[in-house]
Amino acid sequence: MQMQTITLRAAPSARRLAPPPPPVSSSSLSAGRWIPHTRCWRPRSIRASASLEQEVKERADSPSPSAGKSSQATRRDVRNIAIVAHVDHGKTTLVDSMLRQSKVFRDNQVVQERIMDSNDLERERGITILSKNTSITYKGTKINIIDTPGHSDFGGEVERVLNMVEGILLVVDSVEGPMPQTRFVLKKALEFGHAVVVVVNKVDRPIARPEFVVNSTFELFIELNATDEQCDFQTVYAIGLKGKAGMSADNLADDLGPLFEAILRCIPEPRIEKDGALQMLVTSTEYDEHKGRIAIGRLHAGELTRGMEVKVCTPDDACRIGKIGELFVYENFGRVPVESVSAGDICAVCGINDIMIGETIADKVAGVALPTIKIEEPTVRMSFSINTSPFVGKEGKFVTSRNLRDRLYRELERNLAMKVEDGETADTFLVSGRGTLHLTILIENMRREGYEFMIGPPKVINKTVDGKVLEPYEIAAIEVPEEYMGSAVELLGKRRGQMLDMEASGPEGVSLLKYKVPTRGLIGLRNAILTASRGRAVLNTIFDSYGPWAGDISSRDQGSLVAFEGGSTTSYACINAQERGILFVKPGQDVYKGQIVGIHQRPGDLALNVCKKKAATNVRSNKETTVVLDEPLSYSLDDCIEYIQEDELVEVTPLSIRMSKNPKVSKKGKN
């Protein structure tokens, strides 16, 4: 392992001048395979003279070392894989091409892009939020595919599904290379001992640098203490959008055949106990209006049949009896009802309405619970409370604390990375998550469902160890043009960031900055850094560890413009108000006392009247002056959450998002 590391880092010029890999043929695949990061063919561990198909068959039929001790076997007709990557590296697009080439859809069927992103929010934001299951069939082998989120705030979804698979496809962009979320998902996969196939995607980009990306990925494996076998990963080059793949970046096939072959060759068959007692760990749940709660997981042992009675249990021996109502497996792009499922496959179960994620569906007599799913702790907390503004109940259907409580605790049934606690009052709840985006998605879903409520500013969750306060730190990777690098460095310095690395990112004059920043300092940073770089910077973060308290951090230099009178805004008042700062409201809009109507151009809040009307007098003016009103600033939900401070709230309704001063905090300050 050390010799590989020295060779990789000490002779970069030798790597660039090395000859390209020879063309891949069936005979070469039988004799061995090309390892891009070592520039050599690796002999296969089984007889080189055997063909690839014969070798796979022999491996499946050969007994394992522990065959004499248990009834474990392998299923040759199934592979279970998860596709993981950093956000925007092309996971979902690659799955689209895999589905199309597997003839999942009719030739005349209209298929939208990113078909796995079926949620409205996923399509609007262009990101994957929930993990989803599908399957394809290639050369008689069923490949169960799980598409996972790429954003770090939804890492809990990735941690859950890794329990269901034996290997992963690690998709890496051919220009950016490994990014923060790439490190996180790879670390989790290596901890599970999963096999990894690296897919260098988007190799058709003009500034693609696949060789650098493969070497960077190899170094990441070493940093994460991967085993020798895991470091010897298979690399496949692909263009997910066009549905092409190959063993060399310069020689791609016309389809994804090389990728499918790599999955069959490198991802191990599921190891099962076919004759053992039934065991199925529930890793995900869905809800259907007709079927009720649906439990999804991989069958580890035994056979599950429709109508059979089972035991639902947890590791602490809390068990109850249930009955399987309906049974489904994933075929192509949907669920197909079946009468029975054998061990090693991924299935969906209906009929047990109180089943929870992490519980085990086991044999009624001899069933034993599997270890429950462990998820990393949340780092950010926000308060949810009932709407107390004068406009309460005008736009939403669910406004009471009971409605709010039921919805929040229902979210815990499928969102393991989230926690809900009761607040100081009966109508306040503390919701903790992986980050502000994690909580923002919940808030957006709730407002679309008809809920009205108010939320407080995000706060980090600190720990106290040996009398010392520790706060969460995150690794921030910022891609910024060189001309704006000074502004970015200044912003991160003000927020207690520590620079870890700075390097050129491709030939476009873009620099990649890596910082270790307190999570407190990241709140509101995205908008600030976009403003400083004129919208050209890209910020990605991932949780790192807990560290010493970094000190006070000032996140906002300007105050707010606050309405001290309710009513409808007028043009006359807005003309005078816009001289004080930037407004959020326009003429004719209803506001209430205490609502934030703009950003003050100076530190500190300023109360003003945006509903003032022009006095009607009998004195005629000599000349009518024409004043043009500025376009009001439109803030999204994410922007509002980043903007508010300790004494401010965000009012969320199905039709509006407003900000206001918190009257409870204001009263405490006066006392």
Instruction: Read off the pLDDT of residues 250-289 as tens digits, 9 standing for 90 and up.
Output: 888 888 888 989 999 888 888 877 778 888 888 888 877 7
**Strand blocks (E) in 390-467:** 419-422, 428-433, 453-455, 459-460, 463-465
Nearest CA to 644 among 576, 602, 606, 595? 595
Q: Which of 12-16, 175-179, 546-550 has the lowest mean pLDDT?
A: 12-16
**pLDDT given at position 118:** 53
Q: Which of 13-27, 151-165, 380-394, 471-485 has the lowest mean pLDDT?
A: 13-27
Helices (runs of H) and strands (runs of E) counted in the chain: 19, 39
Q: Where are the alpha helices (DSSP H) in 11-51?
A: 12-17, 26-31
**pLDDT given at position 562:** 93
What pLDDT, in 10s, does the model give residues 208-231? 888 989 998 999 899 888 888 888
In the chain, what is the straight-line distance between the N-terminal and C-terminal CA atoms, in Å? 66
Inter-CA distances, 617 with 443, 614, 621, Å = 48, 9, 10
Pairwise pLDDT comparison (75 vs 105), residue with the higher score: 75
Query: Reduced to 3 states, what is the DSSP secondary structure of residue 212?
Result: helix
Amino acid letter, residue 53 = E
List, as own/partner pairs, every contact residues 438-441 make where C-beta atoms lie below 8 angstroms and the sequence separation is at least 24, other chains included.
438/153, 438/154, 438/378, 438/380, 439/380, 439/382, 439/641, 440/637, 440/638, 440/641, 441/121, 441/129
Amino acid letter, residue 447 = R
Report the alpha-carbon distance of residue 234 to residue 225 in Å, rounded.
18
Report the alpha-carbon distance of residue 283 to residue 375 in Å, rounded.
12
pLDDT above 80 for 548: yes
Q: Which of 17-26, 69-78, 644-653 has the lowest mean pLDDT?
A: 17-26
Nearest CA to 353 among 294, 279, 416, 415? 294
Give the residue-averaged pLDDT of 43-57: 36
**pLDDT given at position 671:** 41
Strands 132-138 and 141-147: antiparallel
Q: Band the pLDDT of 452: cuts 50, 70, 90.
A: very high
Residues 6+ apart with CB under 8 A from 158: 82, 84, 131, 148, 149, 184, 185, 188
Nearest CA to 582 among 534, 535, 531? 531
Amino acid letter, residue 121 = L
- Rounded to the nearest integer, the mean pLDDT of the chain is 79
Report the alpha-carbon distance of residue 52 to residue 253 in Å, rounded.
19
Report the alpha-carbon distance of residue 332 to residue 401 in Å, rounded.
43
Report the alpha-carbon distance of residue 455 to residue 389 in Å, rounded.
12
What pLDDT, in 10s, does the model give residues 116-171? 545 566 556 656 666 777 888 888 888 888 887 766 667 677 777 888 888 889 99
Strands 463-465 and 468-481: antiparallel
Amino acid letter, residue 483 = E
Rg (C-alpha) for the chain, rounded Å, is: 28
**With b meaning 16 or more CB within 10 Å and e meaning fewer, what string describes 578-601?**
beebbbbbeeebebebbbbbbbbe
pLDDT above 80 for 513: yes
CB 369 within 8 A of CB 281: no
Q: What percent of the chain has pLDDT over 70?
A: 81
Inter-CA distances, 38 with 35, 218, 310, 647, Å = 6, 10, 51, 58
Q: Which of 10-19, 268-277, 379-388, 403-412 has the lowest mean pLDDT?
A: 10-19
**pLDDT given at position 153:** 67
**pLDDT given at position 51:** 37
**pLDDT given at position 49:** 32
Give the residue-averaged pLDDT of 619-642: 75
Nearest CA to 268 among 183, 143, 107, 111? 143
Nearest CA to 597 among 627, 566, 628? 566
Report the alpha-carbon distance of residue 368 to residue 366 in Å, rounded.
7
Pairwise pLDDT comparison (332 vs 43), residue with the higher score: 332
Report the alpha-carbon distance of residue 667 to residue 42 in Å, rounded.
72
Q: Which one-letter DSSP state was computed for residue 251?
A: B
Residues 6+ apart with CB under 8 A from 163: 192, 281, 283, 297, 298, 373
Q: Band the pLDDT of 381: cuts 50, 70, 90.
A: very high
**pLDDT given at position 130:** 66
**pLDDT given at position 71:** 56
Report the alpha-carbon distance of residue 143 to residue 79 in Å, rounded.
5
What pLDDT, in 10s, does the model give residues 227-246? 888 888 899 999 888 888 89
What pLDDT, in 10s, does the model give residues 624-633? 556 678 888 8
CB 341 within 8 A of CB 396: no
**pLDDT given at position 358:** 83
Q: Which of 103-112, 149-158, 489-498 has the lowest mean pLDDT?
A: 103-112
Tell me, yes or no, if the pTM score tops 0.75: no
Query: Reduced to 3 states, what is the DSSP secondary structure of residue 497?
Result: coil
**pLDDT given at position 420:** 92
Give the residue-averaged pLDDT of 414-432: 87
Give the residue-averaged pLDDT of 615-632: 65
**pLDDT given at position 596:** 92
Q: At what angle do helices 257-266 and 52-61 cross, to 10 degrees?
A: 30
**pLDDT given at position 26:** 40
**pLDDT given at position 140:** 85
